[in-house]
Amino acid sequence: MADLSVNICGIDSPNPFWLASAPPTNTGDQISRAFDAGWGGAVWKTLGEPIENVYSRYSSVDINGHRMMGLNNIELITDRSLEDNLVEIQEVKRRHPDNALIVSLMVESTPEAWDEIIKQVEQAGADGIELNFGCPHGMSERGMGSAVGQVPEYTCDITTWAKASATTPVFVKLTPNITDIRAAARAAKNGGADAVSLINTINSITGVDLDSFTPRPVVGDKSSHGGYCGPAVKPIALNMVSSIAADPFTQDLPISGIGGIQTWQDVAEYILLGATTIQVCTAVMHYGYRIVEGMSEGLSNYLDSKGMASVNELRGLSVDRVTDWQDLDINYVVKASIDQDACIGCGICYIACQDGAHQAIGAKRSEEGRTDVWIIEDACVGCNLCSLVCPVQGCITMEERDVGQTHMTWNEFAGDEPPGELIPRPKHGITIGGD
C-alpha cells in the first residue's frame, strides 16, 4: 500500500487531506472529529479582531438537479473570541499531536498587530500560520483580506512582518481576484513565505430572487458579493496552481491546493499539477467529514496501480505538460468515432455539432424512430464536443490519425522557414444554398 504521508515546509502530515480555513474548522470539536475521521491536517478558521456576522450567509448554484455546484459565502472570519480559540487550539494539539494544525490569521496591516497574534497562536501550539490575503468580502476598508492580496507590494510587506515574528512556517493564502496569480505568489516568496495556499474564493453573486429582486443570500432587503467556491471553481484553481508550479521564480514554493475538491481524482489532479497538500471546504459542508475515507482509499489504490510507493512520486508530473498555445503541435490530428452498438440514437451529438461546432455529423431518422448518426470524416476537426455531450460513456471516442506530417508548432509555421508542411484543414460539411 502506498505511503500517503507528506511533509510541507517541515510539517509532517499523515496524508495530504486537509480541511481549509472555513466553517468546517470553526471549533476545536469539529477539527478533533475531522482528525478522528481520517483528515491529515486542518487550517483553523481565520482568527482576528471580533467580528459580527449576519444571519443569512450562504447561497448556491444548482445545475440540472445537482445541488451546490457552486457555493457563495458572505460569512466573515470567526465570530468566536480569540481566547476561546486559543484554548481549543492547545487542546486539539494535545489530543492529536501527529496531525498538522495551521491557524489562519487576518488582522489590520500593522507589524504590531501581526506580531501579537502570531505569538499567541504559536504559543497555543500551532504547527504553522496561514496569512489570509484572500477574503473577498468585508473588512477591505481596514486593509485586510483581498485588499492586501490584490496588491503584490502589500503581500510582500505583510509577509515580511509575519516572517519576522513567526517561528513556525508561514503560508500565504492567495486571492484569485487578480489578473495574474504569479505576481502575488512572487510577492509572497519575496516576503519570505514558506508556502502558498490557493485559491481562496472568487468574488460572486450567485443569483437574484425574482420575486423580491434582491440578490442571494438575502439579508433583509439587500445582499453583498461573496466568495464563490465548490466544484465550479476547480478548473480556475488548477490553472493557478499549475502557473505557480511552472513559474521559474516560484516553482520551488510548496503549494497547498484549494478549490472544488470532492474526490480522490480531484486530489490526484492537484498533486499532479504541483500541490503537496490539498484543502477541502465546500464538499465537507455538503457531505460531511467522512468523504476523506473515499479520498484516502481511492488515492492509495491509484498510486498502487501506477506502481508508486508514495504521494511524493506523483507530485508535479503534469506541470511540464502545460504549455502556451503556440507551442502545441498543429499537425496532431484526432477524429471522432461513434460506437454504433453503444449509440442510443438520441441525436444530441448531431444537434451540438450542427448548431455549436463544425457540422461534421450526419444524421437520418430510422424507421424505428431513432436518430442514426455518423461522422463526416473530412469535416471533423476533432473538437471533442460530440464526445462531451454524449450521454453514453465511451460511445464517442477521439482517435488519433497518422497524417504523415512532422510535429510543427504555430511559431514554427509562422516563422520565415517552416520545417515541414501544414496538414490540410477540414472543410465544413454544410454549405448554404442559393435562392
Residue with cell 509532517: 12
Q: Name every residue whose Cβ is closer than 8 Å to that of residue 347 and which is 6 or more positions away in sequence.
A: 363, 371, 373
Query: What cell numbers appear for 432 in the block?
Result: 448554404
Q: Name every residue whose Cβ is closer than 8 Å to that of residue 36 and which is 6 or more positions away in sequence.
A: none
Torsion sign (Cα): 59, 61, 65, 66: negative
CA 367-370-374 angle, 5° bins: 105
DSSP string for residues in 134-161: ---SS-GGGT-THHHHT-HHHHHHHHHH
Three-class DSSP category at 246: helix
Q: For residue 223, which phi and psi values (nearest 5 degrees)?
A: -150, -170
Say which of 9, 135, 380, 395 is annotated catalytic: 135
Is the separation of the CB atoms in 51 and 74 below 8 Å?
no
Residue 121 burial by Cβ neighbours in a 10 Å radius (0-12, 13-18, 19+): buried
CA 10-32-103 angle, 5° bins: 45
Residue with cell 465537507: 284
CA 5/CA 13 separation, integer angstroms: 6
Query: What cell numbers appear for 232 in the block?
Result: 465550479
CA 202/CA 137 separation, integer angstroms: 10
DSSP string for residues in 249-308: TTTTS-EEEESS--SHHHHHHHHHTT-SEEEE-HHHHHH-TTHHHHHHHHHHHHHHHTT-
Tell me the β-bridge partners of 362: 374
Among the residues of 79-226, which ranges form H helices?
82-95, 111-123, 146-149, 152-165, 181-190
Q: For residue 70, which phi and psi values (nearest 5 degrees)?
A: -145, 140
Active site residue 135: yes
Is the separation of the CB atoms in 279 and 244 below 8 Å?
no
As annotated, the active-site residues are 135
